[in-house]
Chains A and B, each alone.
Chain A
Amino acid sequence: AQSVTQPDARVTVSEGASLQLRCKYSYFGTPYLFWYVQYPRQGLQLLLKYYPGDPVVQGVNGFEAEFSKSNSSFHLRKASVHWSDWAVYFCAVSYPTGKLTFGDGTVLTVKP
């Protein structure tokens, strides 16, 4: 069965520092992978998505993610974090049938 693991429940970084949020997936075949962000009291919004092809995917607001089939990973990165990035980040994997499985999320805290 497909699954997603986000090993870090909470990550704290200083504003302006670089960021990596980890995601490991379990999926038979080539997955469709997504990163969503949830701001306080809002629904989830798409940051970026991966289709088979270029392993590095660019998203909104300077986010990017790199797919690794050998490591079963899809880590999210940002070169310089802004205070407005304070949110919860979810990694997700999609079946071809359309069913989406989410990880438990990583809470990102940004220190001034």
Chain B
Amino acid sequence: EAAVTQSPRSKVAVTGGKVTLSCHQTNNHDYMYWYRQDTGHGLRLIHYSYVADSTEKGDIPDGYKASRPSQENFSLILELASLSQTAVYFCASRTGFSNERLFFGHGTKLSVL
């Protein structure tokens, strides 16, 4: 079974601080994604990448940066964390075919205080 591992599982951050969420996949997948989920809502795409050393903006990229240093690793960076960024963040990976499923990590619960 394909594996996507996120770290940390949960984090408490202070407003204005820097936060880095990490994602590692062993699926040999080209595409990787960062989504955020707010209580009672679906997932919204923040950033994605289809090749190492390149990232693309998703639907809600403001306040976030992404980094894809290798095919296996994809990080989400909050340079100046804000209260509104409190959410659960999911990383996912997929092959290069748009009709294929996403494999999700277990999520990172981020609380910004």
Contact = CB atoms under 8 A, between A and B. Distances in A.
Interface of A: 4, 6, 9, 32, 34, 36, 41-46, 49, 51, 90, 94-105
Interface of B: 4, 31, 33, 35, 40-45, 48, 50, 58, 90, 92, 94, 96-99, 101-102, 104-107
A95 B98 contact: yes
Contacts, number: 61
Contact of A43 (B50, B94, B106): B106
A98 B106 CA distance: 21
A51 B106 contact: no
B90 A43 contact: yes
B102 A44 contact: yes
Given A43-B90, A43-B107, A44-B90, A100 B102 contact: yes
A63 B10 CA distance: 32
B41 A104 contact: yes
A99 B102 contact: no
Nearest to B38: A104
A40 to B, nearest CB: 11
Contacts of B50: 98
Contacts of B48: 98-99
A34 B42 contact: no
B45 A99 contact: yes
Nearest to B95: A98
Given A94-B98, A96-B98, A43 B104 contact: yes
A44 B42 CA distance: 11
Contacts of A95: 98
A98 B42 contact: no
